[in-house]
Structure 1
Amino acid sequence: MNIKKIRKSIGIILVAMGSSFVTNAQGIEFEHDLDSALAKAKAENKIVFVDFYTSWCAPCKTLAQEVFPVEKVGTFFNKQFINCKVQCDDKGKGVKLGEKYQINAYPTLMFMDKNGELIHSAAGGTSPEGLIELAKIALSPDKNLLSLIKEWNSGNREDEFVRKYFRSLKSAYRTEKANADFETYFNNLKKEEKARKNIFDLANFIKVTPFTPVFNYIEDNKKDYYTTVGQSEIDKYIADSYLWYLKGMIRKETRKEYEVAKVKFKAKKYPYYEEYAMFFSAFEVQDSTGDYNVKEYMKRGTAFLDKYGKNDDSYTLALTALLGNCTGRRDAGIDGIKWMEDLLARNRNPEYLDTYFYILWRNFHFEKALEVGDEIRNNLVRENKSTKRIDSQITMITDYRDKLAKKEADNKAKEISTSN
């Protein structure tokens, strides 16, 4: 045994480990218990930065791997904040904290005071520079969400500020507060003010849902909005709102509420009820456990698209996306491939290619999926946009295809060996 070589190898390992430790130290240093982070914030008189994340969230992983470890990010955050990570799908304390702070999207990047009260918040991934800019807004008493809430509570209702306020709440995914405050604001407007286009645009932006007071008012007084907004836009707004609101309720958690809402919708006697009901019927094959009867889903989806598919491209995209989630074996959801190819034959919108790409590889049509992946990548290059996401997906599919091929070859070799 060569002792010198062993010592040299150990030295290389230690250097590598040391480098790893230094790299980690350069990034954000996180606590993993919010109570401890708040106690530390009180002791040091600092704001708390919290990364609310889940184990399955891709943007969360990108932040953890490519943003939080960056030296300039760590230098800024470790000086200004007490930092904490909260996993919202840990089936324990993290889930309860997610509910307490009304976390509706991941990642949610929240800044709170030492008492755990909201100062500022935003949802979604970002770059190192974007994260630092977000932190600077949180530190600014004139720009953060808390300052906007205080100004709103003081009574500022100027149009420009109102738009800014609700856009900030929506970007922070403070959905419940946005809806509640908008309803109060709307109810205090005069009848002629409610019909203004900018008020309708705000209601549309906030996504007030059917069967709520604001939506009911717009629906009941749609002729007032025909004058200020336009009949076709208002009618489409009402129709689309019912379509996607009811479709979103077809889940095991809200199935009873969906059935009640569907009856109310039918009673309104809109001419498109039968079309919508047939669309919903495909999703209604979900059982009480949340599982889908995939064969029946494809049967109903095909029948619906044959009859109504050309009315709205979103029908095909929605049906195919869910089918992709429910499959994961060779040709298990092959109808979805035909759905997408029929759609693309009449409208090869580049935005539709992601869904086509997804249903292809989920059915193990790897070669065709890789062709579509290259098309997506080429489109991004032409638009001077990042190809990082599609590149990683192409690599993932290539690796998966090769591993599956090897596994199948090994199994075939075993079968031949056994038969001999």
Structure 2
Amino acid sequence: MKKVYFSFLVLMSVILNAQVVFESSLSEAFKKAKEQNKQVFIEYYNSDCSVCKRLGDLLRTDQEVSTFYNKRFINYAMNSNESLSEEDNNFITKANLHFESVPILLYFDKNQNFLHHSGVTVTSEHVINEAKKAILPDYNTSGLKAKYDAGDRSVRTLYAYCDMLKVNKNDIMLTKVAQDLFESFKKEELPTNKSYVILKQVVNSSDNGFFQYWINNVDKLKDFETGQKAGTEILSLEKIVLKELSDPNVKKWDLTKKNKFKQYILKLKITDNPEVFFE
């Protein structure tokens, strides 16, 4: 009997150790972070999202991930599908974070200063690597502005900084940095998936070089998406055009700009009557 009981305890220990330990509240997470001198990890997710569910399974069953996160972080799960508590909502607002999709991995220091964020590839390698970036100032998101201000114009830094500016809804700076990204990008790689991903993820202006390349090469804008999204690549261009056409002053645009956008509308087949946007 004792042997069976001992085996049960060992089994339960293995199961528990395979789970990332999540705190019951954000305030409790930061309280423990100060007490233990650790950073805070927030799983920002939506309970109706299939990718989020896969991430949740990984965080709660993968031994390597749970060991890494439980040792280095105090962890908290924030479900964006539910009405966020006043504490959670105020925290996200104060951090100036605006997400268009989930799940997101978020990392803060013990004093609630933002360190790093990342979208998710549901593998233990990705989830651990993003945590390692959060720990290192040379790799985490919070150091990107300093790198940019110091003159770093590498594609990696510029793309990451664009992603951060997008999350912060700093559209003016995003427009500038996204163009810097185009200037630093190898032009022979423009027809590639790498270029398409940049267009899709961070370009916010039709004046941007990536937009201009793809609007002039729409026939090549294909075979980058798979599964249910296959064939939807052109939507990345449409999104930018429609956003700019939502300008309340669109009717006051000069003739040159109107004609340029009419060409975009027809090329993207948004409508065969582009005048409707300017009436």
Bucket of the pairwise TM-score, normalised by the shorter protein: 0.5 to 0.7
Question: Out of 75, 84, 89, which is 1:83 matched to?
Answer: 75
Q: Quick one: higher RCO (CA 8 Å, sep 6+), 1 or 2?
A: 2
Matched positions, count:
240
CA contact (8 A) 1:169 1:177 kept: no
Question: Out of 45, 48, 72, which is 1:53 matched to?
Answer: 45
Q: In the alignment, residue 54 of structure 2 is paired with which amino acid?
A: T
Question: Out of 15, 26, 36, which is 2:18 matched to?
Answer: 26
CA contact (8 A) 2:30 2:111 kept: yes
Q: Which has the larger radius of gyration?
A: 1
1:125 and 2:126 are equivalent in the alignment: no
Partner of 1:349: none
Between Structure 1 and Structure 2, which shows a larger proportion of helix residues? 1
Partner of 1:134: 130
> CA 1:245–1:147 in structure 2 vs 1: closer, same or farther (change >3 Å)?
closer
Q: CA offsets, 1:175-208, max 9 Å, x none?
A: 4466443445589x9xxxx995849979846312
Partner of 2:103: 107
CA contact (8 A) 1:104 1:173 kept: no
> CA 1:158–1:71 in structure 2 vs 1: closer, same or farther (change >3 Å)?
closer
1:38 and 2:67 are equivalent in the alignment: no
Q: In the alignment, residue 271 of structure 2 is paired with which amino acid?
A: A
Structure-2 separation of matches of 1:108 and 1:134: 11
Q: In the alignment, residue 244 of structure 1 is paired with which amino acid?
A: K
**3-state SS of 2:117 partner:** strand
CA contact (8 A) 2:204 2:240 kept: no
**3-state SS of 1:157 partner:** coil
TM-superposed deviation, 1:131: 1.3
Structure-2 separation of matches of 1:248 and 1:21: 53
**3-state SS of 1:56 partner:** coil
> CA 1:71–1:184 in structure 2 vs 1: closer, same or farther (change >3 Å)?
same
Structure-1 separation of matches of 2:174 and 2:242: 24
1:149 and 2:145 are equivalent in the alignment: yes
Aligned sequence identity (%): 20
CA contact (8 A) 1:87 1:95 kept: no
Partner of 2:153: 159
Structure-2 separation of matches of 1:37 and 1:195: 40
Q: CA offsets, 1:78-134, max 9 Å, x none?
A: 111111111112113245545543233211101111121211110123211221122
> CA 1:150–1:273 in structure 2 vs 1: closer, same or farther (change >3 Å)?
closer
CA contact (8 A) 2:45 2:77 kept: yes
Structure 2: unaligned runs, 5 residues or longer: 222-233, 275-279
CA contact (8 A) 1:27 1:68 kept: yes
Structure-1 separation of matches of 2:184 and 2:157: 18
Question: What is the aligned-residue RMSD (CA, Å)?
Answer: 4.6
TM-superposed deviation, 1:37: 0.8
Q: TM-score, normalised by structure 1?
A: 0.46
TM-superposed deviation, 1:69: 2.3
**3-state SS of 1:85 partner:** strand
**3-state SS of 1:119 partner:** strand
Structure-1 separation of matches of 2:178 and 2:125: 37
Structure-2 separation of matches of 1:29 and 1:82: 8
TM-superposed deviation, 1:173: 7.8
Q: CA offsets, 1:274-299, max 9 Å, x none?
A: 6423599xxxxxxxxxxxxxxxxxxx
CA contact (8 A) 1:88 1:95 kept: no
TM-superposed deviation, 1:57: 1.2
Partner of 1:168: 160
Structure-2 separation of matches of 1:186 and 1:86: 30
**3-state SS of 1:74 partner:** helix
Q: CA offsets, 1:292-344, max 9 Å, x none?
A: xxxxxxxxxxxxxxxxxxxxxxxxxxxxxxxxxxxxxxxxxxxxxxxxxxxxx
Q: In the alignment, residue 165 of structure 1 is paired with which amino acid?
A: T
Question: Out of 203, 206, 212, which is 1:207 matched to?
Answer: 203
